[in-house]
């Protein structure tokens, strides 16, 4: 049997705790999410500049 099959199921409290931790790290507040947001804002600023002032 694998390790996953040997482990007892998580309680509702444990599931909630792990889900909350995962969403805090992998959501938009994570370093990756903030990096994507920063790049998107920079790209939008460049597009607005090109639209207003041209190349």
**Domain ranges within the chain, ordered by starting residue:** 31-55
* More confident position, 29 or 7: 7
Confidence at residue 50, expressed as pLDDT on a 0 to 100 scale: 96
3-state secondary structure of 46: helix
pLDDT (tens digit per residue) in 34-46? 889 999 999 999 9
Please give the model's pTM, rounded to 2 decimal places: 0.51
State the pLDDT at residue 55. 81
CA–CA dist 50, 38 (Å, integer): 19
């Amino acid at each position: 049997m694998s390790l996953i099959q040997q482990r007892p199921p998580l309680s509702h409290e444990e599931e909630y705790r792990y889900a909350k931790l995962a969403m805090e790290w992998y959501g938009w507040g994570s370093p990756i999410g903030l990096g994507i947001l920063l790049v998107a804002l920079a790209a939008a600023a460049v597009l607005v500049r090109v639209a207003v002032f041209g190349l």
